[in-house]
Copies of this chain bind each other. A is one copy, B any other.
Amino acid sequence: MEKAFSEADREAVYRAIHERRDMRHFVSDPVAPPVMQRLIDAALHAPSVGFMQPWRILRITCAEIRTQLRDAVERERLLTADALGERRDAFMRLKVEGLRDCAEVLVMALMNGREAHVFGRRTLPEMDLASVACAIQNMWLAARAEGLGMGWVSLFDPHEVAALLNMPAGAKPVAILCVGHVDRYYDAPMLETEHWAKRRSIDECVFENEWPSPRD
Task: From the candidates B154, B157, B185, name the one contacting A49 in the complex (CB within 8 A).
Answer: B154
Closest to A131 in B: B133
Select the residue from A166, A182, A210 with max chain B CB neighbours within 10 A. Answer: A210
Docked-complex contact A12 and B5, CB < 8 angstroms? yes
Q: How far is the CB of A8 from chain B (nearest CB, A)?
A: 7
A119 in contact with B91 given A202-B40, A206-B59 (CB within 8 Å): yes
Interface size class of A (residues with CB under 8 A): 35 or more
Docked-complex contact A158 and B123, CB < 8 angstroms? yes
Whether A184 is near chain B, meaning CB under 8 Å from some CB there, is: yes
Docked-complex contact B210 and A165, CB < 8 angstroms? yes
Q: Inside 8 A of A65's CB, which chain B residues have their CB?
A: 209-210
Select the residue from A59, A61, A197, A206 with max chain B CB neighbours within 10 A. Answer: A206
Q: Which A positions have Cβ atoms within 8 angstroms of B? A: 1, 3-5, 8-10, 12-20, 22, 38, 40, 42, 44-47, 49-53, 55-62, 65, 76, 79-80, 83-84, 91, 109, 118-124, 126-127, 129-134, 136-138, 140-142, 144-147, 152, 154-158, 165-168, 171, 174-175, 182, 184-185, 187, 189, 191-192, 196-197, 199-200, 202, 205-211, 213-214
Q: How far is the CB of A23 from chain B (nearest CB, A)?
A: 10
Docked-complex contact A47 and B61, CB < 8 angstroms? no
Give CA–CA (A175, B157) in the complex, Å. Answer: 28
The majority secondary structure among interface residues of chain A is mixed
Docked-complex contact B155 and A3, CB < 8 angstroms? no
Q: Could you list 9 examples of A-B contacts with CB < 8 Å? A: A9-B15, A47-B140, A50-B196, A53-B200, A65-B209, A124-B156, A126-B126, A130-B132, A171-B211
Extra A-B contacts (15), CB below 8 Å, given A3-B147, A47-B189, A79-B122? A1-B19, A5-B12, A5-B144, A12-B12, A51-B192, A56-B211, A59-B209, A84-B119, A120-B155, A123-B157, A124-B154, A124-B174, A130-B132, A137-B138, A141-B141
